[in-house]
């Protein structure tokens, strides 16, 4: 298991940044924030629902105080107890320069850590993914001059509710639109959704005379009168809800005295969702899939949206209650298929709505899939001089987003400005240098209380590449920790240092090399005769092929940083590696190795399994497992053509 990010320590404190760089830091969170929290695992023998809401006051320097109310279930449908939330004995939070966020969880008596990000409008979306808490945490700044007029116009609403704490038989999701008149009235609201005890079928109910109030600080009440003639346990959404509205009126949080979480986003002013939803978003998800093969899980992560060519690169840290473990997942998904109103209803088990001028996307489940999902835009970061973009430190194979863990020996690509003096490449088959194109890159961390600093090998330095950005491609040191330790990366050009960028370590970060070199498309695979597997020369069922990739982590015997891998003895991957083709597990014929004669390039030989779809390209998934047989990373972006 990746035990990453379990402890807040001095290692999480950002290095000093150049004064000119406009980057997030602990000072980004300074003042009062409303929050709402929903959890369906209290860490006991039986999962218990927990909900909470209140105010967190961040001091801008890594500390906070909290006041609020927490509701603890006694068991599904067995009652609950309400308690006051108090500030932990050692409260702490950290904001990295990318906007990544961590905080001691005040709702957890064991003080687990919530992880996520701070995005547009100061909205935080996060989850305690490395703990027994399967949860979703959302927060936003308290306002100073709000009123009923702040909540005005058309809104999309999503909600997730475990009525009476019962996540077995009383799950409910809603996804609907409503209009606020800016004076306290929502009029007649048509609530659409699903409920477990209503057969998981699409259901429509009418709430007549819905209303709201908003005070100066953005708090208030939103009331949905019960639909006429509908029994309490059959109502999708009803009653008075505590309401928190953002100062610009583009987003709101709400919830009642039970186990629910409601989010609302102001609709886009025009039907341009497919152009405004682009770039990086922090994501948070809580899901209870009640189907036979489902289960309870939560995620935090980052999604990179590309309307053209229509793809989402996604990284998620997954806390799966049904597996009782946490794991990293990187994958490519299809871009949203937005309707003219900004919704995406093209999926069978989830529906999306874009709003807040493109800064927020919300989602709700369908059928037996009960979930709430929130995307919050990551604001662009800038800097002058030698600048390393903290949101563009990427896996060199998969191009997975920056939030993914860094593993020993992993190939990474950094983007920024002023980092490189001239374009240069290191020759293959030789020791890669630690200075190339005028650039050096330093990795530093703390081990056993002692600082460690390593200048890493670089194999490409590009001046003004990739749309005007400098590019540096490198190999992480093999001495890198694998336990979630925070790693600081800094570029030096000549005598000038860049801003420091901090990320988490992990045992593996698989990235399959593809053609073209985007992380999408046909994987770099060779037949047994060393010809390339292509659509014109596809692999066959039962054939053993060789896959090439990066990021499989430590090897034995050890190899020097940046040195070509020896052929005798072979440097074997320490972790167990599994390959799935079109969802069928393939036989990995020998323990994967560093490809002889290459630096940082891993080779995985596997046999194409029976049962895969033939005559087309199919999915290729790589899983790695640590010494305790727990998932540490999952990669699913590349494909393989099959005869």
Secondary structure (H, E, C), 234-299: HCCCCEEEEEEECCCCCEEEEECCCCEEEEEEEECCCCCHHHHCCEEEEEEEEEEECCCCCCEEEE
Q: Which residue has the higher pLDDT, 631 or 201?
A: 201
Q: Phi and psi (nearest 5°) for 27?
A: -65, -15
DSSP label at residue 111: -
- Residue 4 clears pLDDT 50, i.e. is over it: no
Q: Is the per-residue pLDDT at 10 higher than 80?
A: no
- DSSP one-letter code for 479: T
SS3 196: helix
Q: What are phi and psi of 123, to 5 degrees?
A: -70, 130
Cα(299)–Cα(315) distance, rounded to whole angstroms?
A: 10
Instruction: Tell me what pLDDT residue 628 has.
Output: 57
Nearest alpha carbon to residue 128 among 149, 155, 146, 109:
109
Q: Where are the alpha helices (DSSP H) in 336-483?
A: none
Confidence of residue 21 (pLDDT cuts 50, 70, 90): very low
**If you average pLDDT over residues 612-623, what whole number do you get?**
95
Question: Could you tell me the sign of the dihedral formed by the alpha carbons of 463, 468, 470, 471, in that order?
Answer: negative
DSSP count for the chain of H helices, then E strands = 1, 48
Helix (H) or strand (E) run with residue 374 in it = strand 369-377
Share of the chain above pLDDT 70, in %: 95
Local structure of 303: helix, strand or coil: strand
pLDDT at 343 over 50: yes
Give the residue carrying structure tokens 């308290």.
142
Please tell me the distance from the alpha carbon of residue 391 to that of residue 100, in angstroms, as a whole number.
10
**Is the pLDDT score of 330 beyond 60?**
yes
**Does pLDDT of 584 surpass 60?**
yes
- Residue 264's DSSP bridge partners are 157, 252
pLDDT for res 570: 97
Which two structure tokens, joined as six digits, stand for 317? 């840290």
Q: Which of these CATH numbers, 1.10.287, 2.40.10, 1.10.760, 2.60.40, describes 387-504?
A: 2.60.40
CATH fold of 511-641, please? Immunoglobulin-like (2.60.40)
Residue 242 contacts by C-beta under 8 Å, 6 or more apart in sequence? 53, 219, 221, 254, 255, 256
Residue 370 to residue 384: CA distance in whole angstroms: 45
Q: CB-side exposure of 135: number of CA atoms within 13 Å?
A: 33
- What confidence score (pLDDT) does residue 189 get? 98
293 with 102: CB under 8 angstroms? no
Measuring CA to CA, which residue among 195, 94, 96, 43 is closest to residue 500?
96
Q: Is 353 exposed, middle or buried (0-12, 13-18, 19+ CB in 10 A)?
A: buried
3-class SS of residue 628: coil
3-state secondary structure of 163: helix
Would you say residue 382 has pLDDT above 90? no
- Peptide linkage before 467 cis (omega within 30 of 0): no
Residue-wise pLDDT tens digits, 402-432: 999 999 999 999 999 999 999 999 998 999 9
φ, ψ (nearest 5 deg) of residue 12: -85, -10
What is the spatial distance between Cα 438 and Cα 494, in angstroms, rounded to a whole number? 6
Which residue from 505, 355, 391, 403 is spatially nearest to 445, judged by alpha carbons?
505
The residues pairing with 453 across neighbouring beta strands, listed in sequence order, are 444
Kindly report the number of other CB atoms within 10 A of residue 421's CB atom.
15
Please report the pLDDT score of residue 627 as a whole number. Answer: 64
Does residue 422 contact residue 523 with C-beta atoms inside 8 Å?
no
- pLDDT of 322 reads 79
Strands (E), 409-495: 411-417, 424-425, 439-447, 450-455, 458-465, 469-475, 486-493
Task: Tell me the C-alpha distance between 67 and 62, whole Å.
Answer: 17
The bridge status of strand 260-266 relative to strand 80-85 is unpaired
Q: Cα 488 from chain centroid?
A: 20
Q: Is the pLDDT of residue 124 over 90?
A: yes
Q: Is residue 611 scored above 50 in pLDDT?
A: yes
The confidence score (pLDDT) of residue 467 equals: 64
| pLDDT(458) > 70 | yes
Residue 466: band (very low, low, confident or very high) from pLDDT cuts 50, 70, 90: low
Kindly tell me if the per-residue pLDDT of 15 is higher than 50.
Answer: no
Question: What is the per-residue DSSP string for 134-149?
Answer: -EEEEEEEPPSS--GG
* pLDDT at 238 (0 to 100): 98
Mean pLDDT of 463-485: 90
Strand order in the sheet with 424-425: 387-395, 411-417, 469-475, 458-465, 424-425
Q: How confident is the model at residue 201 (pLDDT cuts 50, 70, 90)?
A: very high
Count of CA atoms in the C-beta half-sphere (13 A) of 238: 18
Round to whole Å and give the CA distance between 78 and 476.
51
What is the spatial distance between Cα 438 and Cα 472, in angstroms, rounded to a whole number? 11
Of all residues in the chain, the percent with pLDDT exceeding 90 is: 84
How remote is the C-alpha of 558 from its chain's centroid?
Answer: 32
3-class SS at 516? coil
Question: What pLDDT band is residue 630 in, cutting at 50, 70 and 90?
Answer: low
Instruction: Answer for the pair 167, 296: CB distance below 8 angstroms, yes or no.
Output: yes
Residue 601 DSSP label: -
Q: pLDDT tens digit string along 533-562?
A: 999 999 999 999 999 999 999 999 999 999
Where would I find the beta strands (DSSP E) of 494-616?
Answer: 496-497, 501-504, 511-512, 514-515, 521-523, 525-526, 544-550, 555-556, 572-573, 576-581, 584-588, 593-594, 602-607
Cα–Cα separations (whole angstroms), residue 253 to 171, 315, 466? 19, 25, 39
Q: Closest by alpha carbon to 333, among 319, 343, 346, 342?
A: 346
Length of the chain: 643
State in words which class domain 148-266 has: mainly beta
For residue range 345-373, what is the model confidence (pLDDT) as tens digits? 999 999 999 999 999 999 999 999 999 99
**pLDDT score of 219 more than 60:** yes
Maximum C-alpha span of the chain: 77
Task: Calculate mean pLDDT across residues 24-51.
Answer: 91
Summary mean pLDDT of the chain: 92
């Amino acid at each position: 298991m990746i035990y990453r990010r379990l402890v807040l320590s001095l290692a999480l404190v950002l290095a000093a940044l150049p004064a000119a760089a406009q980057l997030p830091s602990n000072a980004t969170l300074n003042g009062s924030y409303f929050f709402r929290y929903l959890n369906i695992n209290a860490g006991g023998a039986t999962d218990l629902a927990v909900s909470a809401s209140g105010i967190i006051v961040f001091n801008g320097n890594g500390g906070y105080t909290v006041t609020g109310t927490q509701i603890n279930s006694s068991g599904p449908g067995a009652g609950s107890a309400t308690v006051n939330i108090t500030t932990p004995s050692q409260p702490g939070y950290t904001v990295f320069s990318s906007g990544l966020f961590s905080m001691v969880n005040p709702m957890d008596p064991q003080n687990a850590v919530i992880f996520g990000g701070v995005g547009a409008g100061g909205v935080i979306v996060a989850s305690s993914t490395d703990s027994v808490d399967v949860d979703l945490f959302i927060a936003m700044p308290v306002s100073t001059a709000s009123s009923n007029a702040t909540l005005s116009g058309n809104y999309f609403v999503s909600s997730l509710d475990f009525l009476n704490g019962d996540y077995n038989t009383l799950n409910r999701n809603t996804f609907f639109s409503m209009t606020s008149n800016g004076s306290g009235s929502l009029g007649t609201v048509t609530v659409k959704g699903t409920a477990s005890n209503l057969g998981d079928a699409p259901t429509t109910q009418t709430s007549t005379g819905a209303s709201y109030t908003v005070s100066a600080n953005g708090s208030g009440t939103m009331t949905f009168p019960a639909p006429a003639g509908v029994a309490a346990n059959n109502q999708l959404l009803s009653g008075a809800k505590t309401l928190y509205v953002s100062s610009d009126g583009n987003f709101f949080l709400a919830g009642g005295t039970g186990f629910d979480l409601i989010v609302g986003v102001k609709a886009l002013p025009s039907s341009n969702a497919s152009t405004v939803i682009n770039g990086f978003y922090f994501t948070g998800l809580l899901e209870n899939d009640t189907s036979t093969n489902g289960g309870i899980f939560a995620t935090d992560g980052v999604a990179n949206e590309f309307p053209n060519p229509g793809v989402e690169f996604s990284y998620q840290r997954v806390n799966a209650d049904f597996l009782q473990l946490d794991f990293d997942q990187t994958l490519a998904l299809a871009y949203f298929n937005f309707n003219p109103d900004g919704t995406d209803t093209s999926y069978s088990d989830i529906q999306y709505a874009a709003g807040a001028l493109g800064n927020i996307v919300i989602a709700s489940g369908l059928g037996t899939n009960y979930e709430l999902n929130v995307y919050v835009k990551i604001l662009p970061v800038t800097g002058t001089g030698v600048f390393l973009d903290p949101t563009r430190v990427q896996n060199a194979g998969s191009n997975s987003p920056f939030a993914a863990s860094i593993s020993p020996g992993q190939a990474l690509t950094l983007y920024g400005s002023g980092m490189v003096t001239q374009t240069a490449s290191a020759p293959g088959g030789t020791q890669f240098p630690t200075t190339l194109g005028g650039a050096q890159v330093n990795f530093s961390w703390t081990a056993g209380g002692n600082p460690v600093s390593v200048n890493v090998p670089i194999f490409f330095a590009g001046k003004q590449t990739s749309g005007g950005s400098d590019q540096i491609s490198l190999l992480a040191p093999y001495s890198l920790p694998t336990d979630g330790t925070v790693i600081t990366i800094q570029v030096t050009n000549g005598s000038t240092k860049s801003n420091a960028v901090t990320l988490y370590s992990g045992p593996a970060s698989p990235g399959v090399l593809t053609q073209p070199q985007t992380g999408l498309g046909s994987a770099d695979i060779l037949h047994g005769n060393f010809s390339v597997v292509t659509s014109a020369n596809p692999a066959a069922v039962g054939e053993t092929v060789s896959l090439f990739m990066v990021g499989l982590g430590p090897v034995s015997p050890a190899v020097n940083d940046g040195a070509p891998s020896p052929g005798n003895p072979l440097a074997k991957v320490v972790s167990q590696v599994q390959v799935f083709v079109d969802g069928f597990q393939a036989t990995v014929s020998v323990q994967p190795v560093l490809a002889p004669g290459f630096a940082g390039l891993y080779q995985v030989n596997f046999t194409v399994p029976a049962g895969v779809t033939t005559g087309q390209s199919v999915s290729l998934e790589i899983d790695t497992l640590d010494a305790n047989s727990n998932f540490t990373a999952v990669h699913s972006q590349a494909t393989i053509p099959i005869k």
